[in-house]
Amino acid sequence: MYTNSFFPITQADQVIWLSHYALRLPVIGPTCGISSEEIAGTLEDINCHIWLMQTWHPAIQSDAKKATSFKRHIIDDDTSDIEPYPLSSVFTDIPKIVTPGIKKRLLNQVARIKTNSNYSETIGHDLGIIAVTNNVEHLIPEPTATVEQGSDGNRVRIDFNKYGHDGIIIESRINNGDWVFLAIDTVKPYYDERPLATGNSHETREYRMRWWDKSIAHGEWSAAVRVVLGS
């Protein structure tokens, strides 16, 4: 995950870094031997990279969750309410989908910039390619939970940083009940879109999580975060 590198770990920070690099590369790249053709290709790579992370992947993840919820509703629920069939996301302004290997091409380019005779520490800082060591060890996740309006009513949004881990495993409990498995999530944020239990006008929901790496849960549970859902 490029720990102790200039390339950020979290996707949010990656978007910031990529946007800055795309802004400065056309200005500085030629000084360090990067041709205009290569710069154009790098900008296409970055545009595709950001779109996949910010737009396409979250939308597809949301589509999958809605599809699962709809399937369970139709197959398992015993109510007469019929929910509308969830529609798939429609994308506009789709960027050019580049050949695989964006990150490898980008890191190779940075390596060549650093070996160019015109390269300096000033250029490195300007491009954001000076490695920064992160000595902070995150032993447990640090989630936050908020209630927001979703497409089908109120839902709980759970935010977290992965700090280089594959993902997290989430447990939840309602109204001080037992902790139960909720989800394994590798893309933040996670949305809890479960409806209120029959007869409940509101619920106190709590969430806790552990790290999830290579299909194994490990580490201590995080502190529980709590929200009230409903009226």
pLDDT digits 0-9 by tens, 39-73:
999 999 999 999 999 999 999 988 888 888 888 88
Residue 39: CB partners within 8 Å, gap ≥ 6? 25, 26, 29, 30
pLDDT band per the 50, 70, 90 thresholds, residue 134: low
184 CB contacts (<8 Å, ≥6 apart)?
Answer: 167, 168, 169, 170, 212
Taking residues 163-186, what's their average pLDDT? 94
2 inside domain:
no
Indicate the pTM of the whole model.
Answer: 0.56
Does residue 188 lie within any of the structural domains? yes
| Alpha carbon of residue 130 to chain centroid | 24
Average pLDDT over all residues of the chain: 90
User: What's the CA gap between 101 and 130, in Å, rounded?
Assistant: 22
Q: Which residue has the higher pLDDT, 213 or 136?
A: 213
Q: Does the residue 220 lie in any domain?
A: yes
3-class SS of residue 133: coil
Residue 117 shares a structural domain with residue 19: yes
Q: Which pLDDT belongs to residue 31? A: 96
Do 18 and 120 share a structural domain?
yes
- In the prediction, which pLDDT does 33 show? 96
Token reading at 118: 């015109």
Give per-residue pLDDT as tens, 9-42: 778 888 999 999 999 999 999 999 999 999 999 9
Structure tokens at 90: 């429609």
Asked if residue 1 is part of any domain, the answer here is: no
68, two tokens: 């699962």
* Domain identity same for 89 and 186: no
- Judge if 105 and 180 occupy the same domain: no
Q: Mean pLDDT across the stretch 164-170?
A: 91
Q: Which domain holds residue 93?
A: 11-127
